[in-house]
Amino acid sequence: MAAQLTDDELSAALSGDPSGFSAVYSVISPAVLGYFRARGVDDAEALTQDVFVDVLPKLSNVRGGHSGLRTFIFSVAHARLVDYHRRSARTPHFTEFDPLEDHRRSSSAEDEVLGSMGGITSALATLNDDQREVLVLRIVADLSVEQVAGIMDKTPGAIKQLQRRGLIALRELVKEKDHAAS
């Protein structure tokens, strides 16, 4: 079970107190790290630290208590993830072509990274990007539908729809995997 952030620690963090910063970091950074790992970021720890270097000095502007703090931190994390995927798409990896080693399929490089990790991540890799983002934000980041809607700049109804479609697709994949294993 993750540690919990108390009201006093939240108040300290919002007033720029180092003890509050440490509490925010130790409570929320595991979820941010998990969010990046679940989304296939190769250096998730570095990106997590970038997020906190960015957000900690700005906590005095956060409104909405615990929920507002979490929404703010994951808004920055989401923006960092979008930048990361854009940057990855712009920097192709050059290797000598070997037809026997060419395992390219219709899935993206991100999907392949996720797929290589096995388990739930390989199933997630088959979902489309929005469905995957909604499920990871809802389950790993522990955000509500409204919070995810604010971060992804969509309506709560659209988020619910994406969540439902993502879960149905995930269920089919889990069933297929079970059939293949048995």
Partner 1 sequence: MSVTPAGREEGEIQAILLDSGLEDDADLRRSLEELRGFAHDSAPQPRAELAALLVHGASASGVLAHGETPQSMPMRRASNIASLELHRRNRQRRMGFVVGAAVVGAMGLGAGAVAAASSEDFRNSVGHTVVRIFQPTSDTTAPTPMPTSPADVPAAPAPSGAATKPSVTDTAPSP
Binding site for partner 1 (CB under 8 A): 1-7, 16-18, 21-22, 25-31, 33-35, 37-38, 45, 48-49, 52-53, 56-57, 60, 65-66, 69-70, 119-120, 123-124, 135-136, 138-142, 145, 160, 163-164, 167-168, 170-171, 174-175, 178
C-alpha count within 13 angstroms, C-beta hemisphere, residue 9: 16
Nearer to partner 1, 81 or 136 (CB): 136
Nearer to partner 1, 89 or 172 (CB): 172
Least CB distance to partner 1 at residue 37 (A): 5
Least CB distance to partner 1 at residue 111 (A): 16
Nearer to partner 1, 83 or 157 (CB): 157
Least CB distance to partner 1 at residue 131 (A): 12
Least CB distance to partner 1 at residue 24 (A): 9
Nearer to partner 1, 37 or 80 (CB): 37
